[in-house]
Amino acid sequence: MSERTTGGTGGGAGAGANGPREGLSAEIDREMRRWRVATFNYGVTYYLSRILLIVASAVVAADQNLADGKGGFLVEWVPVLALVVAVLTALDTWLKPQQKWQGFMESRDSLADLIIRGRHGLTAEELREEFTALRRRHREKNIFTPAAGRFPRRAAFSAAT
């Protein structure tokens, strides 16, 4: 599988079955699978949470009108739905699934482009350097947040020491 991903370029000492290019290719394949799964998961999380927020908010907002109609059974669920709306809103604000989903899609697409370029002329060293830079950008943008923005006291403490 890894030969299919980045194989077919160059020769040289690292092009053998156990060379560095094979290990790099396997790592790129592993990262592509992880980013594909994460892209899907964040997309599903984003859309399901939005749909649930819209429906639950509508029921909570219409509780007085529902009491007199056929939706009267929903009125007893209003306190629970109000809590669900509050919790989902907090989780959405904290996790930012839409931004994560977009970031993972961008990283996945950039990695797919790197794989194609790896098949068509990048040396193993160039491929490794670009993959390392892409992984670093992905982690900075989509996984970790800058210390000063997320943990201001820790950043101030470490600056003082």
**How many angstroms separate the CA atoms of 161 and 150, rounded?**
19
Cα separation values, 93 from 50, 56, 98, 137, Å: 12, 17, 10, 22
pTM for this structure?
0.67
Q: Residue length, the chain? A: 161
| Predicted pLDDT at 144 | 79
Could you tell me which residue, 138 or 144, shows the higher pLDDT?
Answer: 138
The CA angle 69-72-78, to the nearest 5 degrees, is 130
CB neighbour list of residue 127: distance below 8 Å, 6 or more residues apart: 6, 21, 24, 28, 114, 117, 118
Give 8-60 pLDDT, tens digit per residue.
444 444 444 546 788 899 999 999 999 999 999 999 999 999 999 999 999 99
Secondary-structure percent of the chain, ordered helix, strand, coil, rounded to 5: 85, 0, 15
Give 81-97 pLDDT, tens digit per residue.
999 999 999 999 988 99
| Predicted pLDDT at 65 | 84
